[in-house]
Every structure is written in C-alpha cells, then in structure tokens.
Structure 1
Amino acid sequence: MGYCIHSTRSFVSAHPYMMYDDELENIERDYNLMLEYMKRGFNDPQRKDIYSKLLARLYNFVSNLRIAYMAQNISFYTEATRKSVNQSFSEERIKTALETFVTDVAMLSLEPEPARTEKSKEIYRRHNDFIQALFGYIIVSRQWTDNERDFFEGILLSPATDIIDAQLITSAIMLATMNNMDINKFHVLINVYKKTTDIKLRQRALVGWVFALSAGPRLHPQMREMVVSVLEGNGVANEIADLQKQIIFCMNAEQDNNTIQRDIMPELMKNNNLNITRFGITEKEDDPMNDIFDPGASDRAMEKMEESFQKMMNMQKAGSDIYFGGFSQMKRFPFFYHAANWFCPFYLEHPEISSTVDKLKDTPLLTNILNNGPFCDSDKYSFTLAVASVISHIPANMREMFNTKEALGQTVSDEDQRQPAYIRRMILQDMYRFFRLFHQRGQLVNPFDKSNSIFVADDLFNGTEIQKVLPDLCYFMLKHKNKNALEHLLPKYNDTNDSKCMLIHGIYELNYCGNPKSAAEYLERSLELQPDNRRAKSMLARACFEAENYDDAAKLYEVLYNENPQSQANALNYCVALSKAERYSEATNLLFKLDIEYPDSIPVTRVLAWNLMGLDKLQQAEKAYRRILKSNDTENGDWLNAGYCQWLLGNISEAVEMFKKFMSCQSKDTSTTLYDELAKDRKFLLSHGIDEIDILLMTDLIKE
C-alpha cells in the first residue's frame, strides 16, 4: 500500500491543475500511524480490518482522480462532461424531472389537436436533453455514497419513473461501473436485477452487473457477498449460463456475416426480381423466352431463393446475429454520434427521429418495426433513418407494400418478445454494436474482448451455483470451437471423479492442444468412471492413433466396430488402425467384405489399396489406385500413394509423374518438400526395399 500511496502522490504532483481534496494526506497520515504502532510492537487485533478500509479509501480517491483526469483528457468522458456540466443534478432535480415527464405525457391526452402534436414534441425534446445530460453525468460521476446508491436504486424501481428512462439510466450505470469500478453502482445494478418486476429492466440490470465485472481490482469483499446472494435466486445460474452463451453468439456476428455474404446472399441476389440503381429500385421484366427454353427455370430460381432465405432464418433461430453485417453499415447517421442513443429503447417519439417519423406517417411501417421486427433497438433506429432517406426513390408499388404486415418478412410474436432470452439477446446485440462500431469505443473497456467475455470464469463465481452449469457451458464451447472460452473454463471444472469432466478435458487436449498422450489419460479416466461411454471410447481410440499407439487404437476401434458393425466409418477406422499396426492381412479381410457391401465407395478402395501394397500385392493395388484416380473423389494424397505403388513396381517414370502431380496440388501456403512427405512414410518404404539413398535420388528426379 505504501507504494500505491507514493505512486498516487507522484501523479498528483505531476498534475497540479487537477482539483482534489485532502483525503490523500489523511490516508497517508493514518497509514504511517499504523506503521508506527506496528514498529513499536503493538498487537492490534483490528489491523487487517483497518488496512482493508484504508485500501478502500485509497481506491476511492484514486478512482475519483482517474475520473477527473479522463473528464479533461479522454474525448468520450470530455463529451459526457460537456453535456452535463451546465445542469444541476441534485437528487430533488432528478426525481422531479423524471416524474414530471411521466405526468406531462399522461396529460397530453387532454390536449386538443393539433396543439397536442406540437406540445408532445416539445415535452419529448426537453426531456431528451435532460436524460442525455443525466446519462453523461452518471458516466463521469465520482464514487457514489450510500445515500446516492439508495437514491438511484429508488428511482429505478419507482413506478413513477418511465421504463425507458429507467433502462437508459441502468445502461449509464453499467458503463460507468465497468470502466471505473464503484461498489455502490454495482450494488444498484445487482439490487435492481433482484427487485424489479419489469422484465426488460431486469434483463438490462443483469447484463449491466455482469458486464461491470470487466472492471478492475477486486478490493471490495462485498462484491463476492452480492454475487453469492444473487445466485441463490431460483433459476439465476441457468439465466447467467444462457447469457454467457448469447455473448458468444454476439461475438460470432462477423463470422456469421461472412457465411451469409459468401453462401447465402449471392443466391438471394441472383434470383430476386429487382434492379437496384443509383436512380432508384425497379422491377425486372420477365424474359418470355425463359419459359420456352427452360420451362422450370423460374420455379427452380424461386426454390433456391427460398432455400437460401431459410438457411439464414435457421441461423437466427440457433442464436446467430444475422442482421449485424447489414445494419453495421447504417450507424453513420448523426443519431449515433451520441453514446446514449446506442442504449436507448426504441420509441417513435424520440426527438432525434421525429422528422423521420413525419416522413413515414402515411405508412404503418414504423409501427410494424416497433411491434414485430426481429431487430434490436439500435437496428430499429438505423432502419427507420435509412428508410426515410430512400423512401422517395422507392417505386410506388413497393411503398404500397409497406402497408402490409408482410413488409418485414419474418416477425416476432408478442409472446416471444416477452421471453427473457429474447429481451436479453436484443440488449446484447445493441451493446455489441456499440462496442464494435461506436467511434470512441477504443477509450472504453470492451466486455466482448477475449479477456472479459468469459465472465463465468471470474473468481467471484467460485463455489457458487455456477459450478453446476459449467459442464453444459463447456460442451457448448466445444461445439462452437471456442478455445479461448475453454482455456478460461476448464481450470474451474476439473473433477477427476466426473466422467463428463474427464471427457471434456480429453477432447480439449486432443482437439485444441495437439497433446494425444495427455488426452488419452483423461479419456481413460472417463471410461473408468463410465465404461459404456461410446464417445469417450471413440476419442480415446483417436488419441491412441495420433500418439502412434496403433495396437491400442486397433483394439478400441475393434470394440466400436463390433458394437455397430453397420457403421462404415467404424469399420474404416478399424482397418486404418490395423494397417498402421502393419496387420495388413486382418485389415484386408475386412476390407474385401466392405468392398462387396460398398462397391462404389472410394474411401473403402483407398484403404484397401494401401493394405494391398502392404501385402506386396502390387498389381491389385495398382488397379485400385487407377480406379481412385479416375473417380471424382480423388484426394491429393492419392497421387502420393499411387506413386509409391508405381515405385514399388519399378515404374519409376510413372512414379515421378504422380509425385509431380502430388506436389503441384499441394497448398501454396505450405513449404513442405517432397522429401518431407516421403520421410513421413520412411518406415513403410524401408520395409519394402526403398532405402534412404533411393528417397534422396527420387527427390532429385522430381526437381529435374
């Protein structure tokens, strides 16, 4: 702590223009007094408690100093300060402003038209100015006192506060806390989550306190107590596990967008019936000759388009953020220059879209977006602003289409929109867009980066109900091939008496660490605990194979084959393991049987050809390789193996041509030479009379 005091003193001395009180001197005096008592040999039973309190006081001072520095030097915080600096935010002012707004809106129904419309715009404009300023005030607020904590908790839970205001304030508290940990702000987020009866506010508070865990040091023991307490709630652990999964889906948004752009959109664009030009959108005229030369063309095109669209919808149902790619291009409107707007629930009266709403007042499009569109709030604002900017260029018949319920395509029912998982997903998508696209995002802690995104691995969750959902989360991360998540989670889930745990560790070691020997140890333990686990057997067989323990791999694959002899994959794996163990006769007997059962199977022929070479039945092997090389299922390795066969037959010229073909088809990204490839099969070649000199000579022949 002495070093921390010294560092803080140095910072203060280097920035004399910054305002601060005499708390640092008080802390330093109390700490020196504590050292003096210890030096004199006094045994103070309260020493640890006093030290902790001094540390908390120093943290609060440094935190406030940090906020003051950022408010003057970091543009995100200077902007927040600018918006709030000229307004008073006493508790009475905040409470009055929030409650007066609700009253004024309620009284609008008594106003006659058209005065009502103008008065409504003025009320919403004035209130938006206030709430934007309040958002900024919270962002740059110092460490809250207990009274401030209780006040903000009260207004968030008050029925006299508009629910949109409550959600926006909650997001401001989240941003403030995750960038500068304040135990009282964290307390508000936790308590709102526990106490509110509004499902939207509850989910926003959940995301808020979870994202606040991205903040710095854990100096407050109350944090652990709060987290443990909240997890005692019924179903909370499962809700938090679902939130963790949804964060992963958000982080896959760009990858999902690439899939859509590469595999889905080309088909949709190819088969649509519109021409999009700089002068507007027009419908293509049907080509009358199509029905003559290809009568089924239009039907096939429609089927392909529907199939592509369905793929995209299936991605969305699975949890993918399919709209990120498109809407990410629509965040350049001035509306998104203000941080608060990224977190604001969508409402038609928002003053910064009121002119847009007026342009579209003759169509029910906006109401459909608000009530039924499967978009997060940020995207609803984007869509509204974008449509308004192009509405005059849209053909009349298409504008008419906007009057129908089908204008948005797939919609979301009221019941689905009330589900916690749906609400949470929309909140997360809003936040992902902010932390991915907002122009000042680099100045803020990002809850979606690798170091923060796997929040359930936080030590605060150790020994809580979260332990029970770790197996499900680990399986989810395996399915999504998320190595970073597994690196964080597996140290928290390592029970040697849990078969499922040992299986997950084994799969991780095998698939992500390239460590088959370590994987085999985990998988053997998994099978000890659950001998009939077929996946553990399969993974252990693969681990033994990759560790070049071919005899054990063959035994395990034999068991799997006997358990399910109808599986071609099991049979081929067994045969490959036998061939690697140089048990060619056993493998060939089964392969001839498979060749009869699957006469057109190139994979069966491929394994059979290698084993025939192993038995020195070279003419039969040559015949098999010629069949493989004439098929449509040829793999590059087939040219290498066919070259071996010709080499063993003494047909050197043919072998050279096949090796050249193999090398020409190798990936340009690899620097592997032919010698490297031949060296991998050195043992096989040596056993068939080809020595090291022959390998070197063959390599030189290829170079020539």
Structure 2
Amino acid sequence: MTEKEQNIQYTTISKHLTERRLKPAFDHLEILIKESEQPLFLDEWRNLEQTYSYMLKYTVEGIRDPERQKVYRSLIVSAFNLLDQVYDGSRKKFSSSLEYEKMRMQKDQIDLSAYLSDLEHYEFEDDLNSLLEEVEVERHKRAEGASELQQKIVNLFNHIWLSNKLNAEESDFIAGFYQSNLIAVPYKSFITSALMLSLIRYFDVTKFALLFDAYKNEFPEISQRALVALLVAFYKYDDRIEYYPEIPGRLALLNEDPEFKRNLETVIIQFIQSKETEKIQKKITDEIIPEMIKISPNLKDKINLDSLMDDSLGEDENPEWEKIFKDAPGLMNKMEEFSEMQMEGADVFMSSFSMLKMFPFFNEFSNWFMPFFASNPAISRTLDLKDDVNSRFIKVIDMAPVLCNSDKYSFCFSLNNLPAENREFMAEGMKAEMDQFKELQEDEELTEPGKKAGFISNQFIQDLYRFYKLHPRKGGFEDIFSWRFDFHNKITLGEILKEDDSILRNIAEYYFSKNYYQEAAEVFDYLLRNIEKSGELYQKLGYCHQQLNDFETALEAYKKAELYELNRKWNLNKIALCYRNLKQPQKALEYYREAETLDEENLNIQLNIGHCLLELGEYEEALKSYFKVEYLAPGNKKVWRPIGWCSFLVGKKKQAENYFQKLVDDEPNKHDLMNMGHVQWSIGNRKNALDFYKKSITQTEFTEQEFFELFEEDLSHLITQGIDREDVPIMLDQLRYFVEE
C-alpha cells in the first residue's frame, strides 16, 4: 500500500466521519485495516460497527433513548481514535518520511521520572559555574555541561515529537517543565515546537491542553509559539474539533481576553503574509538584484566606500547618490518598497538565507526549530567567542527582530568565512541599525501593545516556512504553507472572528491590499450581509469580483454602491466597464456619458466613450471622441490607433493612412501593420498591402492562423471600403507564397 493511497484513504474516512456518514466511514476503515495488514484492529472495528448497527436498529424501531446523541458522538470520537491508530500503524510500516523513519529507529523511550530534576541540575550547576568564569578549567566544564544539557533537551524534543498520545506522566512532566524557574526560556519555547509537530502528526486532546497552558505563559517567546501552534492545529483539525468540547471550551475562555484577540489577528495576518514570500523572492531575484548589479561596478568609487567609517563623515545626503541611481532609475523605488515590506514583517530574507542551510547544525532535525540564543553551545563550538568581534556580532544578531531564528544561526555559522575587518564593519553597521530598531520598537510598544509579541510569532512562522520549504526531507511532511489559511471560513475560529467585525475587516483589508481577491470578497460579502452596509465595502466587493473576471457580480455590487454617493465618478466608470465586458456597449455608453458630465475633459472617459460608439457601429461619433482626446493630449500616441481604424471604417482613407503611418514609424504592433495593409489595399496599392500583411505575420507575435482568423473578422469592412470579394482568395494565396519565401 503506497503512502499516497494511505493518505487518500485517511482523508476520505475523516471526511465521512466529520460529515456524519458512518456507514461509508466504517466500510473504508475496514479496507484500510486489511490493506495495511493490521488484523489486530479488526475486533475494535467490528465492535464499533456493531454498536452503530444496533443504534440504527433501535432508532428505526422508535425506541426512545435520551442518551442516543451522546452515544452517537462517542462513536464518532471512537472511530476517529481507531482511524488514527490504523493510519499511524500503516505509516510505521510503509512510510518513507523522516518522522516514521526515526520512529522505526527509536530506542527506548526516555525515563521521565527523574528527567526534570536532571535538567534543573544542569541549569543550577551552570549558574554556579558562571561565578567562576575566569577559571579556564571551569569554563571548559561549563561548556561540557551546556552541551550535555542541550543534548538532553534535544532528546526530550524527539520524545515528544514522536509520541502519539501523551500519557498522564508525560503531561505532568511537560507542565512541570514549563513551570520550572531553572529551565531557560529558549528551551521551553523549543519544546513548544515539538508539541506542535507532534500534534500535527497525531491528534491528541492533551497536546491541545498543554499548548493552551503554554499560551498563558508570561514569556512571549513561549506564548507566541504556542499560539502559532494552536492556529495550525485548529486549521488542520477544524472539522473534528467540535467532537472534543474541552478544546472549544478553552478557546472560549481565551476569547474573553482582549490581548488574545489582538494576538490572534496578528498571527492570522502573518500566516496570510507568508503566502507573499515566493512573490517577494521573485521580486528580489528578478528586479532588485539585477538593478543592483547594474550599478555595482562603479558603486565603490562613486560613493567613496573606503571613507564611510571616517569620523568626519557628516549627516548631509551624498549629492552623488542621485547620479548613482540614474543608471538604475527604478532601484530607489524598489529599495523603498523592500524597506516597507521589511517593516511590515514580510519575509524578505528567504532567498538570501536559503543557501545557508547546509551547515552541520541543520543536520539535526530539531535545530530547525531551535530559538536563537547567544549561549547556545552549538555557536561556541563553531565560533571563537573570546574574539571580541565575534562576541559583539552574536549579541547584535540576537537582538535583530527582522531575522528569524533559523537565519540568525545561518548568519553566525557563515561568519567564519568573512575576514575580520568585514565582520567588524558589519557588526558596527548592524549594531547601529539594531539600536535604532530597538528604540523604535520600544516606542511602538507604548502606542501599539503587542508589537514585541508580533515580532516573535512572525519569526517562528518564518522558521516554519524555512523548514517546510528548505529541509532536505520536506517531501515527507504536509506543507502547511500550501493551505489557504482562510480561518474566517473555519468552524473553530470562524465564529470568534465574526464576533469582532474590526478583526474581520482588518483581515479583509489585508487580503485586498495583497491582491487575494477571492478571500477578500468572501469576507467583504460576509460583512455586508451580517455587519454593516456601506458604499466603500460594496465598491471593494465589486472590485474584487471585477479582478476575478466575474463582471455580473461586480456590476451588482457597484450598483448597490451607487446608492451611497461615494466617489460617484469612479463608481460610474466601474459600472460602465462591467457593461462593456458583458458585451452591452449601449448600457456602458449611458454610464460613461453620465461620468462625462462630472469630468468633461477626462481622457479615459472620452476614450471609453469612443470605444463604446465604435462597438455600436457609430464610427463618426466615435471619431469625435477620439479627436477630442487627441486635442486634450496631443502627445498621446494611443489614440492614433482608434482614429486610424475609425477613419478607415468611414471611408476617410487618406486620414487613416496618415495615422497608421505614424504608428508604423513609431513602434507598430501586429494590428497596426495589418490595418495599414487594409488601407493600402482599399486605395489600390496591392503590393504595399501584401508587404504590410507579410510584416504583420513575420515581424510580430502573430501566427499565420491568427492572422487569417482576424482577417475573416475584418472582411466585411474591407468589402464596404471597395475591396472586390472575388479578389480576396487570390490575394490571400499570394500572401501565403510571400510568407513561405
């Protein structure tokens, strides 16, 4: 049985259970048990199936049972539990994923009875030895102790990650681990990641409970990881959670806390933002870096790079900067956009650090989730921290909120490849920037509480993104970043989000700003139906549907927005646009005429009026509109094309020739060359006509077939302008010979 077949069966059975179709669920579950060769589960399956058949029989016979619904829900839960066990057993046999490979290789489980006291003992010894830091032998002993402690923490991570259902001892241990004052905060947040990975792999109410507890932790490094983990689990198990009332119960309690709602909104938007990462990578690779390469050869000399650290450097702007960027005129705008994205928390460094995950540190699976902290023994084993530059660099990286933990480690391990003077230069520059950032962060925390928490959750989401996109064995894990993250459509969080229209509105606006029009439209539509009706919401809903090419729905929304008198000219233009796309030029013209009364000299309105008249066959009237555009904007080359075509259609062939000649002399497209051919033929210049037709096919992206299809559309106009229909096949055959030459 292949992994793909297992996954399909699991998904199918889960769907049947959540939709309360138990008969097909039991049928498929029996197949999965037999095909995965796990006959030990057949007895439990048979008991469940038999219990359900009895319940159905009693129900049909009309026997009253006040406990029936309770039994029914219990059956569904039991079926889910059995499905989890069968699916897990099947994957242990057949899966090639890293998780199940490690499970098969796993030795004895950790004895937790004294494990916490062992961990605390290391931390206590570390505090004691730090008092003797100046003694070299004690420093060495302390380093050994730190490495041993970290290995024990990694072992604990693996134990939790690879556990299916946590028993009472494990649950109590983890609770005590979080409560211990002797366990460092980074290790607590690290274990929170293990809980998340374990829960994604195997459903367990106890794991949910521990994550709820972790969210209440006083340290945001722990609470924000727990919140991210909870949201991932809520999304994955959304259809299933309703059968475990303790989960929505805990969530309801959290929902009474305004800070939770603020954090919830932040993390949801960060998940949506993560979907922008590939676009940002492409932008950096295709636009920003090529522009920088253009100027890099002369950059050093132009801005006198060697003198940047001069004490006499003033605060004035460098007058050479403008000259530098004239070679790459779009770079300044792109860099400003890059800076804005960085401040918004966008993942702008993914492409920069994607090649720096080859260090031995990342060979250990758990290190992809390790929070960055300067005293991590993995750093001291790689870098000489007695070197003042290295030591300062690590401290600066530690406080950088714009780098995720994974990238911070990559940065550290790449320091050995840099000359000392470069490290010094970078350390100074980064420290200055981080000091400013820290100041700004502290100010923002006063005006925007929760800003620090937002940085932490964003870093963790970026860590997860790197794991799911870059880990060598990523194919064995379901990529959570392929999910839609439409939390507003989910049962678990949907109601909470819909209770607070400000959160829902902010999510919709974020979708809208990032061009996720389908998702934005869903939320705008909900707000309009259930919360408030406003012209702006109707306009934005209409715009979303317009961008999705659903012009009928867009038109409906724009017409409702018309009732609110909000930016009426814009709205009239949008209604007209919809009518044009719905092939109703007469209705479109009515709205463009109305928009014209509000702005008589608007070029776009005049152009669109001309287009509508052209589509209606009113060529003389269309010409008037186009000439008005040319009069208002003499340098507008775009209007030459419709003037030339309308002139041809009304028989003003010389005028048409003049305008098409302007286009031919400028930058003609395939239509300009073809239309010039039409004009030349109509005035008797057949040889010229053939020449332009040939150029239309050979010099542009026109295929021969496309040319002839479009020619057929234009044929009636050619005949109207005096072309003999009998000459057409002869002319076209001559063109075919021309093209072959």
Q: Same fold (TM over 0.5)?
A: yes
1:316 to 342, 346, 370: 342
What do the CA deviations read for 1:322-380 (whole angstroms, capped 9, x no partner)?
21112111112222122221111112232333222227834122222222373111111
Amino acid at match of 2:368: W
Distance 1:266 1:666, change over 3 A: same
Distance 1:7 1:486, change over 3 A: same
- Does the 8 Å CA contact 1:606/1:628 hold for their aligned counterparts? yes
2:352 to 308, 320, 326: 326
1:454 to 482, 486, 511: 486
2:641 is the alignment partner of 1:606: yes
| In structure 2, distance between residues paired with 1:408 and 1:667 | 53
2:695 is the alignment partner of 1:673: no
Distance 1:360 1:5, change over 3 A: farther
2:616 is the alignment partner of 1:594: no
Task: List alignment gaps of at least 5 residues for structure 1.
Answer: 277-282, 285-295
| In structure 1, distance between residues paired with 2:430 and 2:624 | 62
- Does the 8 Å CA contact 1:678/1:695 hold for their aligned counterparts? no
Aligned residue runs from structure 1 range 361-400, under 5 A: 361-363=387-389, 364-372=392-400, 374-388=402-416, 390-391=417-418, 394=419, 397-400=421-424
| In structure 2, distance between residues paired with 1:251 and 1:62 | 32
1:527 to 562, 570, 575: 562
Distance 1:257 1:15, change over 3 A: closer
- Does the 8 Å CA contact 1:231/1:465 hold for their aligned counterparts? no
What do the CA deviations read for 1:258-311 (whole angstroms, capped 9, x no partner)?
2222222133234336999xxxxxx99xxxxxxxxxxx9997346758736545
Aligned to 1:210: 231
| In structure 1, distance between residues paired with 2:36 and 2:370 | 36
1:48 to 69, 74, 84: 69
How far did residue 83 of structure 1 move? 8.1
2:471 is the alignment partner of 1:438: yes
2:362 to 305, 322, 336: 336
Aligned to 1:61: 82
Task: List alignment gaps of at least 5 residues for structure 2.
Answer: 1-21, 307-318, 442-450
- Does the 8 Å CA contact 1:178/1:214 hold for their aligned counterparts? no
What do the CA deviations read for 1:586-629 (whole angstroms, capped 9, x no partner)?
44334334323322111233333333334332222322222233
2:141 to 96, 100, 119: 119
| In structure 1, distance between residues paired with 2:363 and 2:125 | 28
Aligned to 2:220: 199
| In structure 2, distance between residues paired with 1:217 and 1:246 | 19
| In structure 2, distance between residues paired with 1:225 and 1:701 | 80
How far did residue 522 of structure 1 move? 3.7
Identify the range of structure 1 (106-115 vs 169-178) with the bigger mean alpha-carbon deviation. 106-115
Identify the range of structure 1 (313-322 vs 424-433) with the bigger mean alpha-carbon deviation. 313-322
| In structure 1, distance between residues paired with 2:72 and 2:424 | 71
Identify the range of structure 1 (104-113 vs 344-353) with the bigger mean alpha-carbon deviation. 104-113
- Does the 8 Å CA contact 1:360/1:366 hold for their aligned counterparts? no
Say which SS state the counterpart of residue 203 (structure 1) adopts. Answer: helix
| In structure 2, distance between residues paired with 1:671 and 1:228 | 66
1:495 to 529, 538, 542: 529
How many percent identity over aligned positions? Answer: 22
| In structure 2, distance between residues paired with 1:274 and 1:593 | 48
How far did residue 436 of structure 1 move? 0.4
Distance 1:107 1:700, change over 3 A: farther
Amino acid at match of 2:695: K
| In structure 1, distance between residues paired with 2:182 and 2:728 | 85
Aligned to 2:663: 628
| In structure 2, distance between residues paired with 1:499 and 1:671 | 49
Distance 1:119 1:269, change over 3 A: farther
Say which SS state the counterpart of residue 383 (structure 2) adopts. Answer: helix
2:276 to 246, 252, 256: 252
Distance 1:687 1:174, change over 3 A: farther
Count of residues in Structure 1 that have an aligned counterpart in Structure 2 = 677
Aligned to 1:663: 697
Aligned to 2:607: 572
- Does the 8 Å CA contact 1:63/1:143 hold for their aligned counterparts? no
- Does the 8 Å CA contact 2:397/2:408 hold for their aligned counterparts? yes
- Does the 8 Å CA contact 2:362/2:368 hold for their aligned counterparts? yes
- Does the 8 Å CA contact 2:521/2:544 hold for their aligned counterparts? no
Aligned residue runs from structure 1 range 32-431, under 5 A: 34=55, 38=59, 42-71=63-92, 73-74=94-95, 75-78=97-100, 80-81=102-103, 85-90=107-112, 92-113=113-134, 114-144=136-166, 152-153=174-175, 155-156=177-178, 159-193=181-215, 195-216=216-237, 218-221=239-242, 222=245, 223-234=247-258, 236=260, 239-272=263-296, 300-301=323-324, 307=332, 309-358=335-384, 361-363=387-389, 364-372=392-400, 374-388=402-416, 390-391=417-418, 394=419, 397-406=421-430, 413-415=437-439, 419-431=452-464
| In structure 2, distance between residues paired with 1:235 and 1:533 | 40
Say which SS state the counterpart of residue 608 (structure 2) adopts. Answer: helix
Q: State the superposition RMSD in angstroms.
A: 3.9
How far did residue 164 of structure 1 move? 0.9
2:649 is the alignment partner of 1:649: no
What do the CA deviations read for 1:2-50 (whole angstroms, capped 9, x no partner)?
5545655565566678988986676567556646655775321111111
2:546 is the alignment partner of 1:510: yes
Say which SS state the counterpart of residue 414 (structure 2) adopts. Answer: helix
Amino acid at match of 1:199: P
| In structure 1, distance between residues paired with 2:401 and 2:726 | 71
| In structure 2, distance between residues paired with 1:566 and 1:232 | 56
What do the CA deviations read for 1:126-153 (whole angstroms, capped 9, x no partner)?
2221221222222222224578657645
- Does the 8 Å CA contact 1:622/1:645 hold for their aligned counterparts? yes
Distance 1:234 1:112, change over 3 A: closer
| In structure 1, distance between residues paired with 2:190 and 2:705 | 57
Identify the range of structure 1 (597-606 vs 65-74) with the bigger mean alpha-carbon deviation. 65-74
- Does the 8 Å CA contact 2:274/2:347 hold for their aligned counterparts? yes
2:733 is the alignment partner of 1:700: yes
| In structure 1, distance between residues paired with 2:704 and 2:92 | 53
Aligned to 1:293: none
| In structure 1, distance between residues paired with 2:101 and 2:711 | 65
What do the CA deviations read for 1:440-465 (whole angstroms, capped 9, x no partner)?
2222222110x443343323334433
| In structure 2, distance between residues paired with 1:150 and 1:533 | 64
How far did residue 154 of structure 1 move? 5.8
| In structure 2, distance between residues paired with 1:555 and 1:82 | 73
| In structure 1, distance between residues paired with 2:386 and 2:573 | 60
1:618 to 650, 653, 673: 653
What do the CA deviations read for 1:381-422 (whole angstroms, capped 9, x no partner)?
11111222x13xx3x543442452358978762255653333
Say which SS state the counterpart of residue 44 (structure 1) adopts. Answer: coil
- Does the 8 Å CA contact 1:246/1:425 hold for their aligned counterparts? yes
Say which SS state the counterpart of residue 258 (structure 2) adopts. Answer: coil
- Does the 8 Å CA contact 2:271/2:485 hold for their aligned counterparts? yes
Identify the range of structure 1 (658-667 vs 20-29) with the bigger mean alpha-carbon deviation. 20-29
TM-score when scaled to structure 2?
0.79
Say which SS state the counterpart of residue 481 (structure 2) adopts. Answer: coil
| In structure 2, distance between residues paired with 1:255 and 1:196 | 35
Amino acid at match of 1:525: K
How far did residue 211 of structure 1 move? 1.2
- Does the 8 Å CA contact 1:196/1:202 hold for their aligned counterparts? yes
